[in-house]
A and B are shown apart, each in its own frame.
Chain A
Amino acid sequence: MMTRNFSTLPLVALLTLVSLPLMVMYGFLILDTVTDAPPGELWPDRFTLEHWRFLFDTSVVGNVWQAAGNSLILALSMMVIVLSLSTTAAYAISRLHLPYRRLFLGGILVMHAFPAVTLLIGVFFVLNFTGLYNSMIGVILVKGALMLPFGIWIMKGFYDAVPWEIEMAGVQDGASRFTVWRRLILPQVKPGLVALGVFSFLDGWGEYLLPRILAPGSEMTVLSVFLNELIAGDQLGFDFNLFKSVGVFYTLPVVLLFIIFQDRLMNIFGGGTKG
């Protein structure tokens, strides 16, 4: 813990002031989902759960649960793919004598920085060619591939922070390289794993562009696309409160995850030195 040698009060006040409009907007977002206001008025005058009926009634906006399920599949796949591949690949890059290690590292960095949008057309052709266009698997593979450089890079940072001696000691104690990795090294990078897992889940959950373009079929719709189509499709008329409710429904898991994991998410940006 850093000792405070200056008052944080002015800083807090300033931050509050700057984020006030945002807070007000969020406040109304939540409020509007459970109330109705008379036309033209700002303040609601009655409580209602009317706007949440989309949860049970598919005739309102379509099947929101299917979209949520698709989003969940995408998010969980991201988590599994990114976690499993990053932990192993990053270990290899950090610790093993690989041929072309530097080239590989440089490649990862470039990939990480590369704007993915520019690849879309190429990706589209590849998916079309392999028959994965308009399928969830295609989206998962592409999204996973785009996220991996980030995951590998982050995990490499965590592995780099684990002292070599621990590994040497493990080998010396008679453990195989794999046992050393699983029983001695992995526990040291656990904070990184947790953070990266949550992060990739959220990233998968929030993804809009790839499913929108690569899997436009209606049964593949994920929540983000679903939400967008609500406005674009003009199905709602002017029921903005319904739209806000779907939005809150979509955001809820994100907020929940953030609340649960906020400390550990910070680890990613701390480079894994603590913990």
Chain B
Amino acid sequence: MSEKNDDLKKVVNQALAEQKVPHVKLDKMKPSTVDIDKLTKPSKETHQEYWGKGLTFLAIILIILLVVSIIGFVGEHGLATFFSDHVNIIHFLTSTNWDPTQGENHVGALAMIVTSFLVTLISALIAAPFAIAVALFMTEYSSKRSAKFLQSVTELLVGIPSVVYGFLGLTIIVPTIRNVFGGTGFGILAATLVLFVMVLPTITSLTVDALKAVPTELRNSSAALGATRWQTIYHVILRASTSRILTAIIFGMARAFGEALAVQMVIGNAVLMPYNLVSPSATLTSQLTSQMGNTVMGTLPNNALWSLALLLLLMSLLFNFLVHLIGKKGKK
């Protein structure tokens, strides 16, 4: 015991001797006298707190105003089609006859709705398995360096503007389809392929996040029970991250559904019910971008486009709702 204490003393003394900064005197650290008056008044920090709270509150109000006015504006114009132009809402949702310049009996959006859903679903469904495979490779199999490399590649792909994808689709995919299947080459297939390339990095990077969120301890535990890598991935990792992967896919779908420019460049822009994958067609978004400049504010053709916009808004709300729903389920 005493031997150890002596040792300790020696060590401490030596440390003090080697210290370059002079030893701090602790004498002045007595409790300062308490000023009661000061305590009852807001201090500088409290003032800062007020300011901080006030500023964030203001910012939130501003954003809420913005959101409400966007919804209000789109809603007002979108609903005008039905209330002031007397288009039947059922007709709007179920008819494929789209030619608003011909009057209220020619405002049917079904062809575009169907096309939008088709390109979204097909592209997301093809992209999801690829994205999951790439993400699994990045998190479970590859070395840190190649994972980093792939990560920056996906980030780069996410950041490329959609016009570039559309342009690439127009110059590579459309002619290829034309050569293989005949026809013009424009259509759902071309749009789907372009969207596949566009949503792949989105889904991949979100899936990587989902897989990384699975604790390493679970992987170790599984390995310690005699599981192979693949068994661990299949039975533990994918199961533990299902809800987050689904969320990733929905985000990808939301991106595909909302993509306008790239789709417009390759889909052919004919508002027709798609009867096969290579016939020209139009989605809600592509119709909006291609017709925006051709209508006069306040007229039926213009209001009809606003109705399409309203439909898109509702869809994005639905996607958000789905994400929340899945998030809640995943937590259970």
B is bound to A: no
B residues at A contact (CB < 8 Å): none
A residues at B contact (CB < 8 Å): none
